[in-house]
């Protein structure tokens, strides 16, 4: 089991309570919507307008004992970027930041995406530690470190015009 999986509480209700950002009613509504929503929990909570993304991610980072980062303030390690295929970076909307002592620090705005963590762990053969970061900061970093074409590639993938998995096969 990865270190990340061990840090995520089984009870999302308890986790949302720990943030102190939501009323009991808001938590109940969010969890019932999340069961049928196509959006990840963080995206759904931000879209609801109850709390700004940055504040939510800062509080989740505290509750999950993860760092919160502003990627724009830090340089990204080239070696870390090279460990993760570009396809995986865009598929999971992440930014590899640093690799130290067999652990890869990855910026994400979805701490609950355990499939992403496992995928990155298998590809890099490293432990994966998450740092929470806003979607806007991730988008800026992707554009900066992966180029202008990265934005087009991401848009094509989102519109299902381009299927990276089919191309890889």
Cα 43 from Cα 141, distance rounded (Å): 19
Distance CA 104, CA 126 (A): 6
Beta strands of 69-148 (E only): which ranges?
95-100, 103-108, 127-132
User: What's residue 102's pLDDT?
Assistant: 93
Model pLDDT for residues 129-163, shown as the tens digit of each residue: 999 999 999 999 998 888 755 445 555 555 554 44
What is the pLDDT, as a whole number, of residue 106? Answer: 96
Q: Edge-to-edge strand order for the sheet containing 103-108?
A: 95-100, 103-108, 127-132
Query: Are 130 and 42 spatial neighbours (Cβ–Cβ below 8 Å)?
Result: no
Rounded to two decimals, the pTM is 0.78
Strand partners, 76: none
The stretches in the chain having pLDDT less than 70 are 1-10, 73, 148-169
């Amino acid at each position: 089991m990865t270190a990340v999986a061990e840090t995520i509480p089984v009870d999302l209700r308890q986790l949302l309570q720990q943030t102190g950002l939501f009323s009991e009613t808001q938590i109940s509504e969010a969890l019932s919507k999340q069961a049928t929503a196509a959006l990840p929990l963080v995206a759904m909570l931000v879209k609801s307008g109850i709390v700004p993304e940055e504040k939510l991610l800062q509080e989740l980072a505290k509750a999950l004992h993860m760092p919160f980062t502003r990627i724009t303030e830090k340089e990204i390690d080239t070696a870390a970027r090279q460990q993760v295929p570009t396809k995986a970076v865009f598929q999971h909307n992440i930014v590899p930041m640093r690799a130290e002592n067999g652990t890869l620090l990855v910026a994400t705005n979805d701490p609950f995406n355990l499939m992403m963590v496992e995928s990155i762990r298998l590809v890099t053969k490293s432990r994966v530690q998450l740092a929470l970061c806003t979607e806007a900061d991730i988008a800026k970093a992707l554009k900066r470190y992966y180029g202008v074409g990265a934005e087009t590639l991401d848009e094509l993938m989102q519109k299902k015009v381009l299927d990276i998995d089919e191309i890889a096969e």
